[in-house]
Amino acid sequence: MNYTTQMDAARKGMMTKEMKQAAASDALSPQELMAEIAAGRAVIPANKNHKNLIPKAIGKGLTTKINVNLGISEDCSNFDNEIDKVKTAVTMKADAIMDLSCYGKTQEFRQLIVETSGAMLGTVPIYDAIGYFDKNLTDITAAEFLRIVEVHARDGVDFMTIHAGINRETARRFKKSGRLTNIVSRGGSLLFAWMEQTGNENPFYEHYDKILDIFEKYDVTISLGDACRPGCINDATDAAQIEELIVLGELTKRAWDRNVQVMIEGPGHMALNEITANMLLMKKLCHGAPLYVLGPITTDIAPGYDHITSAIGGALAAASGADFLCYVTPAEHLCLPDMDDMKEGIIAARIAAHSGDIAKGIRGATDIDYKMSTARKNLDWEGMFELALDPVKPRRYRKSSQPEHEDSCTMCGKLCAVRTMNSVLSGKKVELKEDDCHAN
């Protein structure tokens, strides 16, 4: 029996090698994973042309995955720097790489990522269209927009952001909304401008069935982009965002009718008290499809620290049902992130993802926390470092400030609570010199 996509195989009761591999590294059995894929509640982005892919599953009952954005631009077009980022991101356990390149030899760069990385690869084809065709935006035809999608699919891209939800009716709603920051999605703003200036319907919406033809052929997962995501907390959960979300729910069912796997992209900037309701609403309106969220960023006043605002929102989003977090770096809103920015963003996103997994009761999520607590109880410093999300930084701190006694640290010394309790409970006498107590 043949199959076209992972969803098609799951619906036919066929266990693919990708399902087996993804399940082996996650919380569900292969049979449980297959059932979730068949229902559309989980996906395995796995383009048939991405030969060295290490498959990962995203969705219900699975650990929350994280994505790293990178790519070349007109101002920062160094291939080597970005490929180094790819390799480092994979080493730091990022689950996916999203190539947002928009300038220069984008296809060559994209193909290089596919060849060198086993991580899932995502792209936003509309970013590439202007450079690929060397045309002004309004001179690009609907057929050319579709052609660039097929180029990316043929190159081995596993999932693509397609902004099909911002049709002319959604755009009309947006123009009446009085938004503070308008449309902050790069792809969404380009399509809005194209529609306004040509008078035509969004080609990704008008020719959606042709997009599905491509995605079914190569088994690309469609990530339905949120063109109307809020760009500030003032704009969150407004009519434009909800109007687009309703359209995305309709497009989800159309994709499933073709056995094309679907993810739904989510908000942007949003106050903490709105996040849980938004995750529930997105799941409801989009029929339980996996949610892929940027942040949400919980306050607008922290440029330089938006990896923190994003991690706060991401943890709550994951706890409330989000399945895939797009990392945010300290450089968000400011510049292209460098290597150090990327590392900070990855760790922040992994903290948020794991915190969410604990809260929503993902099978086995707290196992590593139990091991860390045991290592702390035993004052096993090397064990703590090995279990840490980032072993490098805690080792550096420990080395930079050596205590007098190896079983303590320079903050507490002999007053270490763990050291004291271990001694007392093992029947040893606790002896503290007077000068050890002066600080208190």
Alpha helices in 178-238, H assignment, sequence order: 186-198, 203-206, 208-218
Q: CATH says 40-359 is which class? A: alpha beta
Domain boundaries, the chain: 40-359, 366-400, 411-440
234 known member of a binding site: no
Q: Is 232 annotated as a binding residue?
A: no
Count, in order, helices (H) and strands (E) of the chain.
19, 10
From the list 203, 99, 100, the residue with the least C-alpha distance to 146 is 203
Place of tokens 């096993």: 380
Q: Is 416 annotated as a binding residue?
A: yes
* Residue 355 annotated as binding site: no
Burial of 400 per CB tally in 10 Å (0-12, 13-18, 19+): exposed
265 is in an annotated binding site: yes
Paired with 116 in beta bridges are: none
- Half-sphere exposure of residue 226, counting CA atoms within 13 Å on the CB side? 25
8 Å CB contact between 23 and 35: no
Q: What is the pLDDT of residue 104?
A: 83
Q: In this structure, what token pair is assigned to residue 351?
A: 């903290």
Residue 292 marked in a binding site = yes
99 is in an annotated binding site: no
CA distance 230 to 24: 37
Task: Please state whether beta strands 159-162 and 96-99 pair in parallel, antiparallel, or not at all (unpaired).
Answer: unpaired
Query: Has 226 been labeled as part of a binding site?
Result: yes
What is the Cβ-side half-sphere exposure of residue 350, based on CA atoms within 13 angstroms?
17
The verdict on whether residue 339 carries a ligand-binding annotation is no
CB atoms within 10 A of CB 197: 11
Note the maximum CA span of the chain. Answer: 83
Question: Contact at 8 Å (CB) between 259 and 7?
Answer: yes
Residue 273 contacts residue 312 (beta carbons within 8 Å): no
Q: Is 286 annotated as a binding residue?
A: no
Closest CA to 418 of 432, 402, 407, 410: 407
- Compute how many other C-beta atoms are within 10 angstroms of the C-beta atom of residue 274: 18
Other C-beta atoms closer than 10 Å to the C-beta of 358 total: 14
Q: Binding residue per annotation — 269?
A: yes
Under 8 Å CB-to-CB from 141, ≥6 apart: which residues? none
- Whether 127 has a binding-site annotation, put simply, is yes
Alpha-carbon distance of 311 to 296, in angstroms, equals 8
Q: What is the DSSP string of 235-293?
A: GTT-HHHHHHHHHHHHHHHHHHHTT--EEEEE-SB--HHHHHHHHHHHHHHTTTPPEEE
Ligand-binding annotation for 163, yes or no, is: yes
Query: Is 185 marked within a binding site?
Result: yes
Angle at 293 between CA 292 and CA 298, to 5 degrees: 165
d(CA 25, CA 127): 33
Whether 202 contacts 163, CB under 8 Å? yes
Per-residue pLDDT at 312: 98
Residue 409 annotated as binding site: yes
Q: How far apart, in whole angstroms, are the C-alpha atoms of residue 106 and residue 277?
A: 38
1 is in an annotated binding site: no
440 residues of the chain, pLDDT tens digit each: 799 999 999 999 999 999 999 999 998 999 999 999 999 999 999 999 999 999 999 999 999 999 999 998 877 777 889 999 999 999 999 999 999 988 888 999 999 999 989 999 999 999 999 888 989 999 999 999 999 999 999 999 999 999 999 999 999 999 998 999 999 999 999 999 999 999 999 999 999 999 999 999 999 999 999 999 999 999 999 999 999 999 999 999 999 999 999 999 999 999 999 999 999 999 999 999 999 999 999 999 999 999 999 999 999 999 999 999 999 999 999 998 999 999 999 999 999 999 999 999 999 999 999 999 999 999 999 999 999 999 999 999 999 998 887 878 888 888 889 989 998 999 988 877 655 444 44
SS3 string, 373-439, reads HHHHHCCCHHHHHHHCCCCHHHHHHHHHCCCCCCCCCCCCHHHCHHHHHHHHHCCCCCCCCHHHCCC
- For residue 127, give the nearest of 76, 195, 185 by alpha carbon: 185
Residue 228 annotated in ligand binding? yes
